[in-house]
């Protein structure tokens, strides 16, 4: 495997950069600087890719949340910004990244001996970026907006001139709300309602190469409502953190059973053991 990054030109100074394991970040270019929203899982050196696209302009990395598959590549850059409350458990994220990369190599998804940004780079000295903060790139502005749920202070970034929201993992087809730092499903539902009122037409996320429209939020709301309805979830085990599991609620309105499809709609919440009713054994005469 000799090609780790795939770059897709989305037009008007916007690029999607995908790594070999399916993590995605986005480069937004203005007249004076560029913003890199998230930074992938850290397999491979992201700097030459960003350097070529930015044409020498200064780079600011804007992180949506603290999970290692979004912040690892930021260990290669100097100007890195994150919500204040997300600047926690970074050492734990480094351990999880090392474990995850080892699994990617075993699965053949990442090359043996690949460059690792968290191992070979330097932990950033974060600058904090809060809701309402605006980064002016020169003719293009990016505004932070809190989208809590996946983590307690996940951030999305509005590119107002494009009516675009870069939302990280704040909304995904198989929405993950089972981490210790995740908030209740009901809180995530409130975030979806908040998103409906924001000034964007389309949004892009961290793990699918797909342009979602604001109208797609209706399907995510339906998934949240199903998970909150008292429906019985399916047990679900997380591959990359040993012992971590959740309960999977697949929306009955989802148009596909392909969990890798951008049209899939499901929520993984905290693990809820399924109740097992005791069965009574009866003799031939019906006595217990």
pLDDT digit string, tens, across residues 105-151: 999 999 998 899 999 999 999 999 999 999 999 999 999 999 999 99
Task: Label the pairing between strands 134-136 and 59-62.
Answer: unpaired
Give pairs for 130-137: CB < 8 Å, separation 24+. Answer: 130/83, 130/84, 131/83, 131/155, 135/35, 135/60, 135/62, 135/81, 136/30, 136/32, 137/28, 137/29, 137/30, 137/31, 137/32, 137/33, 137/34, 137/35
Q: State the average pLDDT over residues 246-251.
A: 95
In tens, the pLDDT along 4-21 reads: 999 999 999 999 999 999
pLDDT at 94 over 50: yes
User: How many helices (H) and strands (E) would you count in the chain?
Assistant: 6, 17
**What is the pLDDT confidence band of residue 205, given thresholds at 50, 70 and 90?**
very high
pLDDT at 278 over 80: no
Kindly state the helix (H) or strand (E) to which residue 102 belongs, with its residue range: helix 90-107
| Mean pLDDT over each residue of the chain, to the nearest integer | 92
Q: State the average pLDDT over residues 249-273.
A: 94
CA 76/CA 72 separation, integer angstroms? 8
Tokens in use for 129?
A: 């970026």
So what's the pLDDT on residue 283?
A: 37
So what's the pLDDT on residue 287?
A: 32
Q: Of the ranges 84-93, 99-108, 238-247, which one carries the lowest mean pLDDT score?
A: 238-247
Q: State the average pLDDT over residues 74-80.
A: 98
Q: Of the ranges 20-34, 166-180, 218-232, 242-256, which one carries the lowest mean pLDDT score?
A: 242-256
pLDDT at 284 over 60: no
So what's the pLDDT on residue 111?
A: 92
**What is the pLDDT confidence band of residue 282, given thresholds at 50, 70 and 90?**
very low
So what's the pLDDT on residue 275?
A: 61
Task: Label the pairing between strands 212-213 and 141-146.
Answer: unpaired
Tokens in use for 264?
A: 């899939």
68 vs 7, 21, 121, 222, 263, CA distance in Å? 21, 13, 14, 29, 26
- Overall fold of domain 6-270: Metallo-beta-lactamase; Chain A (3.60.15)
CA 80/CA 126 separation, integer angstroms? 5
Sign of CA dihedral 211, 214, 218, 224: positive
So what's the pLDDT on residue 223?
A: 97
**What is the pLDDT confidence band of residue 225, given thresholds at 50, 70 and 90?**
very high
CB 191 within 8 A of CB 259: no
Query: Domain extents for the chain?
Result: 6-270
Which pTM was predicted? 0.92
CA 177/CA 116 separation, integer angstroms? 27
């Amino acid at each position: 495997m000799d090609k780790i990054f795939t770059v897709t030109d989305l037009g008007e100074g916007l690029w999607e950069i995908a790594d070999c394991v399916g993590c995605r970040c986005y480069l937004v270019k203005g007249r004076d600087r560029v913003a890199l929203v998230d930074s992938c899982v850290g397999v491979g050196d992201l700097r030459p890719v960003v350097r070529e696209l930015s044409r020498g302009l200064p780079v600011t990395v804007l992180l949506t949340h603290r999970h290692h598959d979004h912040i690892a590549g930021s260990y290669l850059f100097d100007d890195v910004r994150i919500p204040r409350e997300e600047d926690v458990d970074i050492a734990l994220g480094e351990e999880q990244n090392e474990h995850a990369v080892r699994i990617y190599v075993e699965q053949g998804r990442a090359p043996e001996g690949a460059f690792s940004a968290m191992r070979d780079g330097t932990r950033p000295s974060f600058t904090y970026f809060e809701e309402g903060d605006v980064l002016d790139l020169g003719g293009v502005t990016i505004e932070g907006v809190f989208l809590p749920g996946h983590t307690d202070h996940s951030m999305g970034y509005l590119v107002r001139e494009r009516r675009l929201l870069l939302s990280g993992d704040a909304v995904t087809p198989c929405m993950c709300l089972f981490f210790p730092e995740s908030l209740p499903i009901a809180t995530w539902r409130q975030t979806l309602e908040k998103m409906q009122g924001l000034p964007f037409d389309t949004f892009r996320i961290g793990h699918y190469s797909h342009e979602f429209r604001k109208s797609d939020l209706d399907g995510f709301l339906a998934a949240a409502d199903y998970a909150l309805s008292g429906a019985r979830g399916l047990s679900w085990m997380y591959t990359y953190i040993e012992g971590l599991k959740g309960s999977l609620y697949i929306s009955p309105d989802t148009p596909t059973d392909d969990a890798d499809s951008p049209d899939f709609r499901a929520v993984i919440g905290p693990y809820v053991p399924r109740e097992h009713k005791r069965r009574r054994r009866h003799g031939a005469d019906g006595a217990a």
